Amino acid sequence: MKRIHILLGIQSLLVIFVSINRLTDWFVGYVLPNEFLRWLDFNNMLVIPLISLVATYLLKKTIEYNSPAREGRAHTAWNLVFIIGLYLTAASYGDHEVTNYLHVRFCLEDTTSDLCRIVIFNDDEFSHWVFFTGFIMVNAAILFLQNIFPHRENLKGLDIGLLLLNSLFLGAGVFANLGFETIGLDLYVVALLAIVSAFLLWKRGRQPMFIYYTSAYWLGLIGSLIAQTMR
């Protein structure tokens, strides 16, 4: 559990860094003199997702342990889902951050030229579809790997408290992204994962990832729905 708490704590710190990266002007300078990207876009494309996905991989390895289920068909299948999800998530970041930068800098006024139509489509639609597909696959893989490899010790009150504490940061990140924008595919993606995590928690009991995801996604989802109704 100590390693799980540390890895989830890293994700919580990344949520804070994402907020600082997006909401302040600390990283609006250009990475190189040729102005190919701002530090804002560079951090979003390489630094933040790289650390997050490495932590997620280490979390997956922590959940897994030697058992008859290891390297069985279900384990292999969810490993493949995880790997494909990682690739799609990485591809989406590469597509989105570059085209978002070009969109904001050159295409806010020009929405009809061929170049800007392509940039805007990649920024606002295609990269999102790829990201949400990868996001669902990675997080579903973690949930179902926890189902295959249930935690073997009873969770202490402190463990549950730390899981809930870290879930607040993820829930806050969901709320910040969904609560104040037009409802799109992202809300349905979060709702799907919230339902799956709650179902697994109900069926299999208090497992670390079930507690973490159920708390985070339901808090973020409910908060976002309340914010949307008050707009």
Backbone angles phi, psi at 9, to 5 degrees: -65, -35
What is the value of pTM for the model shown? 0.91
Each residue's pLDDT tens digit, 85-125: 999 999 999 999 999 999 999 999 999 999 999 999 999 99
pLDDT of the residue at 225: 86
Can you tell me the mean pLDDT for 140-158?
Answer: 95
Question: What are the structural domain ranges in the chain?
Answer: 151-231
Residue 77, pLDDT above cutoff 90: yes
Distance of CA 34 to the CA centre of its chain: 31
Strand partners for 30: 38
- Token representation of residue 32: 């190189």
pLDDT of the residue at 88: 98
Q: 145: pLDDT confidence band, cut at 50, 70 and 90?
A: very high
pLDDT of the residue at 178: 80
pLDDT of the residue at 2: 94
Average pLDDT of the residues of the chain: 94
pLDDT of the residue at 207: 96
Length of the chain: 231
pLDDT of the residue at 23: 84
Residue 46, pLDDT above cutoff 80: yes
